[in-house]
Chains A and B, each alone.
Chain A
Amino acid sequence: MKSSRIWAWVTFVLGAAYFFLPLIGTVEFSLRMRRGEYSLDAYRVVLGDPRFQETFLYSTVVAVFTILIGVVLVVPTAYWIRLRLPRIRPVVEFITLLPLIIPAIVIVFGYIRMYGSSSPLPFLATNRGADVLLMIGYATLALPYMYRAVDTGLRTIDVRTLTEAAQVHGAGWTTIIARIILPNVLIAVLSGAFLTFAIVIGEFTIASLLNRPAFGPYLQNIGANRAYEPAALAVIAFAITWGCMSVIQVLSRFAPKSANNPN
């Protein structure tokens, strides 16, 4: 075996160990709730906790709406920039990166100051308003991932020619986006959607400071007060994330066929 291949394997094994050992340790610890033997007690406690179900359901619903906001905002924007405003692309890319630079705590304090009950836009005066603000906040946090995913998808198709071909055959903008552009970047949108889902499920800062009953604050609360359940929750959260990735793979099989996606 060539030495370069040996080093490749060594690197792979070290990387895999760095990734899997903590995971194995967490799984192992989560199974030790019952003294002296392995059991699924920690998982039973977590899954049986009504707060787990409530907060998880709440975060799932918020995630779905966040994804909708993201798709409605990002797909037409990224499409229009590729089609008509390619010169401002660097500016838009910079703006979409801002949520990675500005901490969530800064964003949420800004929200509380701007949208408090005495402001002209009193989102925080009602629970529903706070929910909407939470979704907008999450859409902002997910913007770097959603925009990049969609933009990469748009890069794989000839946006301008497809648009012109659709226009010349009588299609208006809604038809072009809904029937030509969106189906052709569906996998990219799904990737962005599941990344958004993963962010929303685990997010703590915004949900906590807006006082929403989300899964992130619940995770933190359990982590601060229990021993084995946090490990079980971490494993569950990990499984959810990987489940999302698997769903992307499965759904991609049903996505529109193209030279880029022949199978």
Chain B
Amino acid sequence: MSETFLSIQGVRKAFGATTVVKDFNLDVARGEFVSFLGPSGCGKTTMLRMVAGFEEPTAGRILIGGRDVTNLKPNQRNIGMVFQAYALFPNLTVAQNIGFGLKVAGAAKSEIDQRVKEMLAIIKLEEYGARYPYQLSGGQQQRVALARALAPRPKLLLLDEPLSALDAKVRLSLREEIRSIQKKLDITTIFVTHDQEEALSMSDRIVVMYDGRAEQAGTPFEIYNQPATRFVANFVGTLNVLDATVVDPAAGTVRVNDNDIPLKTGMLNGARAGDVLSLALRPEAIALGARQGNDSRLSGEIADVHFLGSVIRVRVGLGKGMVSLDTFNNSATPPPRVGDKAQISFSSGDVLVLR
């Protein structure tokens, strides 16, 4: 990782007897886009608010660019922030909103005008400078909020669920736009979201949070494919969980529904014969029928078929459990029918053991 720009060291936050952030540590490199992902109440927004200066940590330090900002007020930190509720100033025009930070900083009018023009071009709203926030759509308002946050050239950009209040189509286009602007300006960014798809598609790294702790930090690929905990595995993506009994720990063999399944070496470290484990499989790792490279097979019956357009999600009953799997839609092949007997296959390399 290149030079650390934002460093969060042992931060804890308690409100009375309730601790909402517990021993949080994170180093963010300059220009990196890091997402805090987690369910409501996991502490991700509180952590972001501590970085912004709206909340004071109960313990720990926050450094931006090597400078300890833990006790600095929000208006002394030189950061930009975009809020879920847009938070545009209703009494100011779009141009005045964008220029607000520069005006407060005492910049010359010509400089403010120039920067506002640049920002309006970046967010592709050149013609909207004279409008008031209420005259814009939600997506436009959030783009203005982004421009306002970026106009004073902050060192750090904080995005607090900026897409949550928007409809699906706008959300999709705006997340691409935010990422492209962030890359273009090479600004270090922290993005808070509970939407895993947003986090996976936009981030350089994701910090999955649960119950005030950082459960796992890693690239989207690592988070999705190598979840470190049961929570991460369950929270990120769809997961099939099967109960298995350890047959031979040394050989890595477990039994699922009377079928022996070989696992990767070392996955049963510490387990004993007879132990009951939970195995996890992503839907896309399971094939309907045999597939080259899949060394494990289970039999069952088609329980449900959901046509999702390009993908068909099939649920297969396995006697003691149920798995979902995805197959691509093929116009030449009709989807399976509910009640049909089916065999599923997967590679033991794709199996995760949840502890």
Residue positions of A touching B, CB distance < 8 A: 157-158, 161-162, 164-172, 175, 180, 183-184, 256-260, 262
Q: Are B132 and A180 in contact (CB under 8 A)?
A: no
B266 in the interface (beta carbon within 8 A) = no
A25–chain B nearest beta-carbon distance, Å: 45
B89 in the interface (beta carbon within 8 A) = yes
Q: Are A257 and B132 in contact (CB under 8 A)?
A: yes
A182–chain B nearest beta-carbon distance, Å: 9
CA A262 – CA B133 in complex, angstroms? 10
Interface residues in B140-160 (C-beta closer than 8 Å to A): 145, 148-149, 152, 158
CB within 8 Å for A161 and B87 given contacts A170-B101, A171-B75: yes
CA A94 – CA B75 in complex, angstroms? 35
Q: Are B101 and A259 in contact (CB under 8 A)?
A: no
Instruction: Identify the 8 closest CB pairs spanning chains A and B, nearest first.
Output: A256-B91, A258-B90, A169-B101, A165-B87, A259-B134, A183-B91, A167-B74, A170-B104
CA A158 – CA B145 in complex, angstroms? 15
CB within 8 Å for A172 and B81 given contacts A164-B54, A256-B90, A256-B91: no
Q: Are B90 and A164 in contact (CB under 8 A)?
A: no
CA A158 – CA B53 in complex, angstroms? 19
Q: Are B132 and A258 in contact (CB under 8 A)?
A: yes
Pick the most buried of B74, B79, B152: most chain A CB atoms within 10 A of its CB.
B74
Cβ-neighbour of B83 out of A157, A164, A260, A262 (below 8 A): A164
CA A40 – CA B247 in complex, angstroms? 111
A102–chain B nearest beta-carbon distance, Å: 37
Pick the most buried of A167, A172, A180, A183: most chain B CB atoms within 10 A of its CB.
A167
Q: How many residues of chain B are within 8 Å of chain A by beta carbon?
A: 30
Contacts of A164 in B (CB 8 A): 52, 54, 74, 81, 83, 87
Q: Are B91 and A257 in contact (CB under 8 A)?
A: yes
Nearest B residue to A262, CB-CB? B134
CA A41 – CA B133 in complex, angstroms? 54
CB within 8 Å for A180 and B75 given contacts A168-B52, A169-B100, A169-B148: no
Interface residues in B62-119 (C-beta closer than 8 Å to A): 73-75, 77, 79-81, 83, 85, 87-92, 100-101, 104-105
Cβ-neighbour of A180 out of B73, B81, B89, B149 (below 8 A): B89
A227–chain B nearest beta-carbon distance, Å: 51
Contacts of A262 in B (CB 8 A): 134
Contacts of B88 in A (CB 8 A): 165
CA A258 – CA B89 in complex, angstroms? 9
B47–chain A nearest beta-carbon distance, Å: 15
Contacts of A183 in B (CB 8 A): 91
Q: Are B91 and A168 in contact (CB under 8 A)?
A: no
Q: Are B152 and A170 in contact (CB under 8 A)?
A: yes
Q: Are A258 and B134 in contact (CB under 8 A)?
A: yes
Q: Are B148 and A257 in contact (CB under 8 A)?
A: no
Contacts of A260 in B (CB 8 A): 90
Contacts of A172 in B (CB 8 A): 75
Contacts of A175 in B (CB 8 A): 104
Q: Are B134 and A158 in contact (CB under 8 A)?
A: no
Nearest B residue to A161, CB-CB? B87
Contacts of B149 in A (CB 8 A): 168-169
Q: Are B73 and A170 in contact (CB under 8 A)?
A: no
B81–chain A nearest beta-carbon distance, Å: 4
Q: Are B90 and A157 in contact (CB under 8 A)?
A: yes
CA A49 – CA B318 in complex, angstroms? 101
Q: Are B104 and A169 in contact (CB under 8 A)?
A: yes
Cβ-neighbour of A165 out of B77, B89, B91, B152 (below 8 A): B89
Q: Are A168 and B74 in contact (CB under 8 A)?
A: yes
A75–chain B nearest beta-carbon distance, Å: 15
CA A183 – CA B89 in complex, angstroms? 10
CA A184 – CA B100 in complex, angstroms? 16
Q: Are A168 and B132 in contact (CB under 8 A)?
A: no
Nearest B residue to A173, CB-CB? B75
CA A259 – CA B137 in complex, angstroms? 12
Contacts of A168 in B (CB 8 A): 52-53, 74-75, 77, 79-81, 149, 158
